[in-house]
Amino acid sequence: MNVNKKNISGTVLRIQRMSTEDGPGIRSTIFFKGCPLSCVWCHNPESISHQVQVHWAKTRCIGCRSCIEACSKGALAMAQSGIVIDRLACNSCAACVQACPSMAMDIYGEEFKLNDLAREVMKDKVYFQKSGGGVTLSGGEPTMQPLFTKELLSAFQQSGLHTALDTCGQCSWETLESLLPYTDMVMYDLKEIDPDKHKKFTGISNTRILENLIALGRSMKERGLPGELWIRTPLIPDCTTTEQNIKGIGVFIKKHLREIVGRWELCTFNNLCTHKYESLGIDWAFKKTGLISHEEARNLASLAQGSGVDARIVHLSGPMRNADSTESMEDKPHKSVINDDVSECRCEGGYA
């Protein structure tokens, strides 16, 4: 099938430059709109819907009501708490965004032409080359826009850039397999090993996710595609931080991915995304959930190391609190250490 690449476009949430949390070196991470999962702890709730979404920022609003007057659908109203958006009535025309003098109304998501997005990211090529970095496609879920993702990865790879795909694995194997020739590294989210709990937490069983991960390991053994595989597990208090889950994931890795996984990253939770839920009018269940302690995080890392995997692949990243601290989150990078690996992690990319 002949594809006119000039006409290929995709919906992107944002481009995050100078990222150090989404693969090796300094990277640009492209966050896609749309995700098949609905994780209760999602750090990027604005990425779940594949549609462009209007949102309101309370701290910028001057109460002028210009947005309400500009909305032809009557989707906006002023309440005691501020601007309320009727999501069923709103068609994301962005008239309110254009009318707002203080930029309190804004849009989550933008449609990009393939060549335009590639050209924009390539502006930072010198940083990638000097640091051993590259480009990471994340989300949301890039595999929900397979043609756009494939051509984008291909364009970056042809330009000599290291490419990484951050995926939840909830897609057809055919889709995932089609991306592998253009992907140097896959970062695969393995959140919860128990299928019932996975469905409770994300809305979907992990059956296909695990099947695809096994197939991915087979592809690496037989074809060398992708070249590298990282597993990422979010440490969500009272959800994924159980001994059963951490050991279960370790047993799975040992059984199906022995000597294939280069890094198993345990990513600690933070609630810095609370404002995103507020901007979408969603009451987030984790808004008052604090950081896990250094002691708890290290205990979980020890469980992972003792689960049968090569202990050297286990890495702990993200913010943690001291045992005597009651703070929920400090808005600054935190040092984390495991296996003499030190990294500054803000985890803004989050737990898709």
Q: Are strands 9-19 and 27-32 parallel, antiparallel or unpaired?
A: antiparallel
Please name each of the domains of the chain with its CATH number: 5-49+113-345 (3.20.20.70), 53-108 (3.30.70.20)
- For residue 309, the model assigns a pLDDT of 98
pLDDT score, position 5:
77
Model confidence, pTM: 0.90
185 touches 207 (CB < 8 A): no
Q: What is the pLDDT of residue 3?
A: 57
Report pLDDT for 325: 63
Q: Give, as one character, the DSSP assignment of residue 5.
A: G
pLDDT at 350: 47
Angle at 16 between CA 13 and CA 17, to 5 degrees: 150
Position 7 scores a pLDDT of 86
Q: What stretches of the chain adopt beta strand conformation (E)?
A: 9-19, 27-32, 53-56, 76-79, 82-85, 105-108, 110-113, 134-138, 162-167, 185-189, 228-235, 261-268, 314-317, 334-338, 341-345
Confidence (pLDDT) at 327: 53
pLDDT at residue 330, as a whole number:
38
- Distance between alpha carbon 155 and the CA centroid of its chain, in Å? 22
pLDDT tens, 265-303? 999 999 999 999 999 989 999 999 999 999 999 999 999
Cα 176 versus chain centre, distance: 17
Residues 6+ apart with CB under 8 A from 148: 8, 9, 10, 114
Residue ranges for the chain with pLDDT beneath 50:
1-2, 328-350
